[in-house]
Amino acid sequence: MNLPPNTKPDSYWAAKKSLDSEDEKYAWASHDFNNFNNYPLEKYTAWLRSVKQFFAKDFTTVVPNGTLKGLDEYIGQIELYFNSFSNLHLDILDFFVKGDRLAVHYIMSGKNTGEFMGNPPTDKEFKMRSIEVFRFANGQLTDGFSMGDTIGFMQQLGMM
């Protein structure tokens, strides 16, 4: 699936107070996914912090290895992947916003070139199919979950 190109600068989103319509949520999320694929880690995490008003103070998301509480822990998870894998990329398979939900189905790929969860780099490439679903309330992301083929991912890396 080709996402629409970013048509508004990062500063446009940083100045907004909330995401209220489905169209705004879709435009912001597609902007975010494009940034993930095109920005280096430092620029991407700076982008996320610049739009922190879109994350509720008690934002949580459940990931395969636990529950992340708050934007800082969410960014920490992203940093873990960027630091452990080179050429990290999301191929978006399906993406939609309906009411208070945002869902994205994607394949993440990359090459393990850094330590990952206590394991030394394997120099192996991986592809992992995942889905993430987030909920909005009052124009902010409040919670979400991420589910991926973690066993297949670890097997591809030779860690299982």
Q: For residue 111, what are the CA distances in angstroms to 50, 99, 127, 156?
A: 28, 36, 9, 10
Q: What is the pTM of this model?
A: 0.90
Average pLDDT, the chain: 94
Mean of the pLDDT values across residues 127-143?
96
Q: What is the pLDDT of residue 76?
A: 93
Q: What is the pLDDT of residue 94?
A: 94
CATH of the domain at 73: 3.10.450.50
Q: What is the pLDDT of residue 115?
A: 97
pLDDT tens string 43-93: 999 999 999 999 999 999 999 989 999 999 999 999 999 999 999 999 999
Helix (H) or strand (E) holding 143: strand 140-148
Who contacts 121 (Cβ-Cβ below 8 Å, separation ≥6)?
A: 84, 112, 113, 114, 115
Number of domains into which the chain is organized: 1
Q: Show the domain range for 78.
A: 17-156
Question: Looking at the domain assignment, is residue 93 inside a domain?
Answer: yes
